[in-house]
């Protein structure tokens, strides 16, 4: 049992380490449209949107709209499912001490496209 728990811990920690050092995958300036599916914070905060084709895209939440969400480390529940248009940039991932760990995709601009939220 101890070996299983150690292996599980290594797998989980290893997966986190890999995601913490992710590299940009989208071209800067790419515009994506979709609906917000997730918002998660660890040392940095990430927004995930699902595009019309079913692909999910995740980026650091760096747009001005993210400021209050990032300060609270939470997004209002009413924002899940809202349609948005995001512009992709590049952002710095930082650890809990503020050290830059690498760069990754960032959503630098977010525009609400749902008429209920405009």
Range of the domain at 37: 24-117
Q: What is the DSSP-derived secondary structure letter of residue 117? A: G
- 41 in a domain, yes or no? yes
DSSP, collapsed to helix, strand or coil, labels residue 80 as coil
- 64 in a domain, yes or no? yes
Residue 4 backbone phi and psi in degrees, to 5: -60, -45
Work out the pLDDT band at 7, boundaries 50, 70, 90. very low
Domain with 109 in it: what CATH number?
A: 2.40.50.100
Task: Return the residue matching tokens 């049992």.
Answer: 1
- 88 in a domain, yes or no? yes
pLDDT, tens only, 41-82: 988 999 999 998 999 999 999 999 999 999 999 999 999 999
Total count of residues recorded for the chain:
118
Whether residue 1 has pLDDT greater than 50: no
Whether residue 22 has pLDDT greater than 80: no
Whether residue 86 has pLDDT greater than 90: yes
pLDDT at residue 90, rounded to an integer = 94
pLDDT at residue 115, rounded to an integer = 73
- 10 in a domain, yes or no? no
- 6 in a domain, yes or no? no
Kindly report the pTM of this predicted structure. Answer: 0.77
How many domains are contained in the chain?
A: 1
* 107 vs 14, higher pLDDT: 107
């Amino acid at each position: 049992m101890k070996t299983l728990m150690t292996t599980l811990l290594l797998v989980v920690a290893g997966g986190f380490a890999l995601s913490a050092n992710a590299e940009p995958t989208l071209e800067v300036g790419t515009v994506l449209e979709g609906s917000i599916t997730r918002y998660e914070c660890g040392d940095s905060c990430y927004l995930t949107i699902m595009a019309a084709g079913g692909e999910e895209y995740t980026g650091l939440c760096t747009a001005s709209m993210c400021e209050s969400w990032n300060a609270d480390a939470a997004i209002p529940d009413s924002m899940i499912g809202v349609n948005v248009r995001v512009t992709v940039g590049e952002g710095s991932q930082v650890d809990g001490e503020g050290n830059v760990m690498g760069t990754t995709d960032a959503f630098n601009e977010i525009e609400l496209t749902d008429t209920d939220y405009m």
